[in-house]
Structure formats: structure tokens, C-alpha cells
């Protein structure tokens, strides 16, 4: 059986740890700190729940935190810039290295693909003139063309 992306990265505990480390670093980053100044103490946990669900885990975000529409609404009107988006992705990947998240080529290609996709949508939805549809279904992300984790 091919593991889900969430299973491969150590389950929800592994993802929560990554997000805790990441949002601590975000709060100390000059470009991102103003964007996340009002984030709730639960922010890292909620983002981990969302990404965990997308990566094949339990439906925690859908059942407890408002689902995909709520995630989209959190970005609406924030006028995020591409520079902020790039820093967000770069910092998250640095933290993935720091916490020892899987670094096999297969996992990282799937992880980066999702982060590029999701972060670009967040920027689009955050523009003041954006025509946002919040009713899109929860995304589901898998291994893509690499089809599964690295095997020797």
C-alpha cells in the first residue's frame, strides 16, 4: 500500500510540530510578521489540521474548523503579495529541513507542488478585487507523477 503524504511525514503529530516551528519563525520574520500579527494561538494547529486533511488524514478541519470555505475566507481581503508568498514557502521548506521532515525527492516534489499551488491561490483570493468562490470542495493531494515515496 502506498502511504498517504500525511502518513509519510509522520502523521498529524509530525505536521503539527512542523507548523509550530514554522509559525514561531514567521513571527520573527520581518516580511511576514506584520501579516500574521493577529493570528490566533491555535493558528499552527489549524493549518496543520487543514493540510493534514488535504494530505489524506482525518477530516478535522472540515468537521471542526469550518472546512474549505473557512480557510478561503481567512485569506480574503488581505492583499498578500508575491514576495510574502515566496518567503512563506521558502521558510516552510527551511523548517521542514530543520525538523527532519522526509527529504526524499518524491515526497519533496509532492510537498512543493502543493505549497506552490495552495500559496498562489491564497494570494489570488486575497486581492481586494478578487471574485472569490468559497464553496470549492476540500482539495486532496497525493504523490502525483512520482506515484509514491522513494524506494531504493
Q: How far is the CB of 120 from ligand HEM (least distance, A)?
A: 8
Q: Which of 12, 152 has the CB closer to ligand HEM? A: 12
Q: How far is the CB of 113 from ligand HEM (least distance, A)?
A: 11
Q: How far is the CB of 112 from ligand HEM (least distance, A)?
A: 11
Residues interacting with ligand HEM, by CB under 6 A?
35-36, 38-40, 42-43, 46-47, 50-51, 65, 71, 74-75, 78, 80, 84-85, 88, 115, 118-119, 122
Nearest to 139 by CA among 46, 52, 44, 40: 52
Q: Which of 65, 102 has the CB closer to ligand HEM? A: 65
Do residues 43 and 36 make contact, with C-beta atoms less than 8 angstroms apart?
A: yes
Q: Which of 39, 130 has the CB closer to ligand HEM? A: 39
Q: Which of 1, 63 has the CB closer to ligand HEM? A: 63
46 is in an annotated binding site: yes
Q: How far is the CB of 92 from ligand HEM (least distance, A)?
A: 9
Do residues 46 and 74 make contact, with C-beta atoms less than 8 angstroms apart?
A: no
Provide the annotated binding site for heme.
Answer: 46
Q: Which residues line the annotated binding site? A: 46
Amino acid at each position: 500500500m502506498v502511504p498517504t503524504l500525511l502518513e509519510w511525514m509522520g502523521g498529524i503529530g509530525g505536521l503539527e510540530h512542523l507548523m509550530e516551528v514554522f509559525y514561531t519563525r514567521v513571527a520573527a520574520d520581518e516580511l511576514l510578521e506584520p501579516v500574521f500579527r493577529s493570528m490566533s494561538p491555535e493558528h499552527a494547529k489549524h493549518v496543520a489540521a487543514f493540510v493534514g486533511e488535504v494530505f489524506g488524514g482525518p477530516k478535522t478541519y472540515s468537521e471542526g474548523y469550518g472546512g474549505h470555505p473557512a480557510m478561503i475566507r481567512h485569506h480574503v481581503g488581505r492583499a498578500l503579495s508575491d514576495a510574502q508568498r515566496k518567503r512563506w514557502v521558502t521558510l516552510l521548506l527551511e523548517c521542514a529541513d530543520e525538523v527532519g521532515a522526509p527529504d526524499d525527492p518524491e515526497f519533496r516534489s509532492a510537498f512543493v507542488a502543493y505549497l506552490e499551488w495552495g500559496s498562489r491561490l491564497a494570494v489570488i483570493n486575497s486581492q481586494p478585487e478578487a471574485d472569490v468562490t468559497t464553496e470549492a470542495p476540500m482539495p486532496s493531494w497525493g504523490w502525483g507523477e512520482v506515484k509514491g515515496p522513494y524506494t531504493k
